[in-house]
Amino acid sequence: MDKTLLPLSILLLASCACTPAPEEEEPPAELAEEEPGNLIGPPVTGDCGAEGYQGFVGSPLAAVTYPSDLKPRIIEPGQAYTMEYDPERMNIQVDEEGTITRVYCG
């Protein structure tokens, strides 16, 4: 082994040993908690009236009726939608079979 490579190798190994390991970050407390049967996300409560429509959860979307002026946003699996929060907008989330899984404001 070349005599010039040995000190360079030792210096390189020493510099690696001094680097601290990155700390793991914990998610914010409001995102870490999950209610049973509910996905992490915006709360049900808000100005949209979602509290009154929780009875829809578990029903087929095609079988429910709501006032024509309600105009909820229907969110299907894999669908792209805006993440901006609007407390007056009601979101109805459905699964692959068209069953309502969640009703919330946002």
CA distance 87 to 83: 12
Q: For residue 61, what are its two tokens?
A: 């979307």
Give exposure, 55-76, as e/b (b: 16+ Cβ within 10 Å): ebeeeebeeeeeeeeeebeebe
- Residue 93 belongs to a domain with what CATH number? 3.30.10.10
CA distance 21 to 9: 21
* Count of structural domains, the chain: 1
| Host domain of residue 98 | 5-105
Q: pTM (2 decimals)?
A: 0.57
pLDDT in tens, the chain (106 residues): 556 666 666 766 666 555 565 666 555 544 434 444 444 455 566 688 899 999 999 999 999 988 888 889 999 999 999 988 888 899 999 999 999 999 999 8
